[in-house]
Amino acid sequence: MSRLLTLTLTSRRGRRYPLELFTRDTELAEEGAVYMLLRLPEGRAVQAQILYVGETCALGTQLERDKLPGGAWARANELGFDTIGAVALARPEDRHAVALEFIQSWHPPCNDGQGSQAGLMELAAPLPVTLPRGSTRH
């Protein structure tokens, strides 16, 4: 129920973004952000899977909408979603551009029209062992 850590995410265009990671049960603020539903690697793996990318002006409310039947949360849940990632961006045009860049970089399987085996993101190194595994999967 908290922030896990911050990663630097590098898109395929070479742009770097600070991605904050949160557990699924974190109540997030009503701020503008590009957000991702992710499945983090286990053990020493260095590939996370981005399952969905969205943009919003009110993150907490949007995630609640995503939990409705047929929403992104439900679709990502079927693929093992365990972590929320967010890049805070105040301006709508910035959110739209970054979300589009992320979708084009990783082709998340839960975004409409994207491939079911895509979404893999290379990490610079394995994640710290202290992340709460298993307890956040539903």
pLDDT in tens, the chain (138 residues): 466 688 888 888 888 888 999 999 999 999 999 999 999 877 666 678 899 999 999 999 999 999 999 899 999 999 999 999 999 999 999 999 999 999 988 899 999 755 444 555 555 555 554 454 444 444
Query: Given this model, what pLDDT does residue 65 score?
Result: 94
> Which positions ≥6 away from 100 have C-beta within 8 Å?
none
* Side-by-side strand order, sheet with 47-56: 3-10, 16-23, 83-88, 33-39, 47-56, 120-122
Give, as one character, the DSSP assignment of residue 71: S
Note the pTM of the prediction, 2 decimals.
0.80
Written out in words, the top-level CATH class of the domain with range 3-122 is alpha beta
Domain ranges of the chain: 3-122
Task: Please state, for a pLDDT cut of 90, what percent of the chain lies above it.
Answer: 54
